[in-house]
Amino acid sequence: MLRGKIALVAGATRGGGRGIAAELGAAGATVYVTGRTTRTRQSDYARPETIEETAELVTNLGGEGISVQVDHLQPAEVKALVERIRQEQGRLDILVNDIWGGENLFKWNKPVWDHDLDNGLKLLRLAIDTHLITAHHALPLMIENPGGLLVEVTDGTAEYNAGHYRLSPFYDLAKVAANRMAWAHAKDLEPHGATALSITPGWMRSEMMLEHFNVTEATWRDAARDQPHFVISESPRFVGRAIAALAADPNKARWNGQSLSSGGVAKDYGFTDIDGSRPDCWRYMREVMEPDKPADATGYR
C-alpha cells in the first residue's frame, strides 16, 4: 500500500514507535527510525532496545528501514536528519511524532507541589518541545508534495482526556497537548493538501509493560491473573496498522484535525491486531473499567 512512500517515525526505539515503523515497513514504505539508543550508545532510559533493531524489523517485513540516532530536543540534530532525508529521498510523505521518554519522570496521583519540579518540566520538554522541533524542521519538506500525513501519538483521545485527570498535572498537560498540536497543525497543513491528526493506542503491550507483568508477547494473557483488565490490551503493532491504513487512504483528509484511537480506526478500515482480534480499549474503559465491572473483553475485541 505504501511502496515508494517515505516515512519518518520519530521515537521508534521501542513500544508504539517500533510497532508503527514495523507496520509502515510491512506496507512497503521506506522508514527512517530515530531514537537515542543504539547498539553502541544507551540513553538515560537504560533499556536494551535499539533503533538498529527497529530498522532491521522494518526491512524484514518488506520495507526499507534506516536508523538514525537523533535527540529530538536538539534542533541541530533534527535539522540534519531532515536534510539527510531530502538528499537521499527528495521527499517526505509521512511524519509520525512518537517521541516520549518521560516514563520514569512522573509520579502518579501527585499534585504539582508534591511532584519533583525538574522531572515534571523535563517531561514537558520531552513530550511537547520535541514534537514542535521535529514538526518545524520536517513539515516544510512534507508539504512540497500534496497528500502528506502528520500523526501526533499520545495517550487518550481528546474526548477522554477532557473529562479525566491523567495521573499528574505534568502528564495530563503532556497528553492533552499532543491532541491540540495535531488540531493546530491541521489548520496550517490543510491549504497545502496535507493532513494532521492525533492517535492514541489502548493499553499497549510495550516491552516495558510486558516486563512489568513478567510476561512475553506470547504469554501476555497470563498477566490477567494479577491485572484482570489486561484482557483488553493490544500489541504495539495495532496502532501501527492504524497509521498505515490512514497513510494509504487517498481520502485521509476527512480525518484532518481529529483525535483518533487505534480501536476506532480499526473499525473503520477493518484491520485487526496480530492475534486476529480488534480490541476497543477506550470503549472498554468507559463501559467496564470505570463502572468497576468484572473484567471481560467479550464484545470489546
Q: Write down the domain spans for the chain.
A: 6-214+236-278
User: 177, 179, 200, 202: which is closest to 297 by C-alpha?
Assistant: 202
Say if strands 259-261 and 30-35 run parallel, antiparallel, or are unpaired.
unpaired
The angle formed by the CA atoms of residues 155, 25 and 278, to the nearest 5 degrees, is 50
Q: In this structure, what C-alpha cell is assigned to residue 119?
A: 522531572
- How does pLDDT run along the chain (301 residues), one tens digit per residue? 999 999 999 999 999 999 999 999 999 999 999 999 888 888 888 888 999 999 999 999 999 999 999 999 999 999 999 999 999 999 999 999 999 988 888 888 889 999 999 999 999 999 999 999 999 999 999 999 999 999 999 999 999 999 999 889 999 999 999 999 999 999 999 999 999 999 999 999 999 999 999 999 999 999 999 999 999 999 999 999 999 999 999 999 999 999 999 999 999 999 999 999 999 999 999 999 999 999 999 999 9
CATH of domain 6-214+236-278: 3.40.50.720
Q: How many CB atoms lie within 10 A of CB 150?
A: 28
| Separation between Cα atoms, residue 56 and residue 71, nearest integer Å | 20
| Residues whose CB is less than 8 angstroms from the CB of residue 248 and which lie 6 or more positions away in sequence, other chains included | 1, 2, 27
C-beta separation of 268 from 249 below 8 A: no
The single-letter DSSP state of residue 46 is -
Alpha helices in 37-168 (DSSP H): 51-60, 75-89, 117-124, 130-142, 158-163
